Amino acid sequence: EAGVAQSPRYKIIEKRQSVAFWCNPISGHATLYWYQQILGQGPKLLIQFQNNGVVDDSQLPKDRFSAERLKGVDSTLKIQPAKLEDSAVYLCASSLGTINEQFFGPGTRLTVL
Amino acid sequence: AQSVTQPDIHITVSEGASLELRCNYSYGATPYLFWYVQSPGQGLQLLLKYFSGDTLVQGIKGFEAEFKRSQSSFNLRKPSVHWSDAAEYFCAVHLSGGYNKLIFGAGTRLAVHP
């Protein structure tokens, strides 16, 4: 069974630029999550999708971050414009549903200069 | 508010020695608890989980954890550490209420001396 795929693995941009990350969850997983992991901290949930609907985006900085999950499969997370403090690893995870194990992708390491 | 505390930021042990990583949580209801491991450049991998029942749970790679309600703790243990166990370990609590939301601790980085 293929795992959660993410791309790119690394990205370096300058502040005020835009960036987008892509995630392909495990086939059949209805729930998809985006986490932000700042160096020295645990992952923090940014947004959670159930199929193609948002169920929790309370921690998403909506003035600059956006995410979508068209057709309930792949998802993209966008930052526009980026700030220095957005430097982090962005992890995508998926699960069959609620109270199921979350499977994590390898993450995208973003550096904002 | 719900929170997870991992008191040890960094731990170093010798290969073959025993290991205990501490985790304390703050959550009003009966918690679902998890331990994840993250190797450099990798995503998080689930080691073990506690939902209910036996308070001593076994996981992969020879790890186990014990849930102690009276101490609000869920410490991870391994009797004999291997060099390949060097990684970062995260404890997490699952919030109920219809959403599969995990709150993670800040992590403990484990170094293993040969």
> Is the CB of A104 less than 8 angstroms away from the CB of B99?
no
Question: What are the tokens at A90?
Answer: 């962005």
Once rounded to an integer, what is the mean pLDDT over residues B88-108?
86
* E-assigned strand segments in A10-107: 10-13, 19-24, 31-37, 44-50, 53-56, 65-68, 75-79, 88-95, 103-104
| A101 vs B: CB within 8 A | yes
**Within 13 Å, how many C-alpha atoms sit on residue A1's CB side?**
8
Report in angstroms the alpha-carbon separations of B35 from B24, B53, B91, B113. 12, 17, 5, 23
B103/chain A closest Cα distance in angstroms: 7
| A24 vs B: CB within 8 A | no
DSSP A55: E
User: What is residue B51's three-state secondary structure?
Assistant: coil
> Is the CB of A104 less than 8 angstroms away from the CB of B43?
yes
What pLDDT score was predicted for residue A1? 64
Q: Does residue A16 register a pLDDT over 90? A: yes
Once rounded to an integer, what is the mean pLDDT over residues A79-104?
91
Residue B29: band (very low, low, confident or very high) from pLDDT cuts 50, 70, 90:
confident
Mean of all residue pLDDT scores within chain A: 93
Chain B residues whose CB is inside 8 A of the A97 CB are 100
| B94 vs A: CB within 8 A | yes
Query: Which of A45, A48, A57, A91 is the mutation pick for testing B, counting most B CBs within 10 A?
Result: A45
Q: Does residue A57 register a pLDDT over 90? A: yes
Chain B residues whose CB is inside 8 A of the A45 CB are 101-102
What pLDDT score was predicted for residue A107? 95
Chain A residues whose CB is inside 8 A of the B44 CB are 43, 91, 93, 104
Q: Does residue A98 register a pLDDT over 80? A: no
Assess contact for A100 and A108: CB atoms under 8 A: no
Which residue in chain A is spatially nearest to B92 when comparing CA positions?
A42
Chain B residues whose CB is inside 8 A of the A55 CB are 99
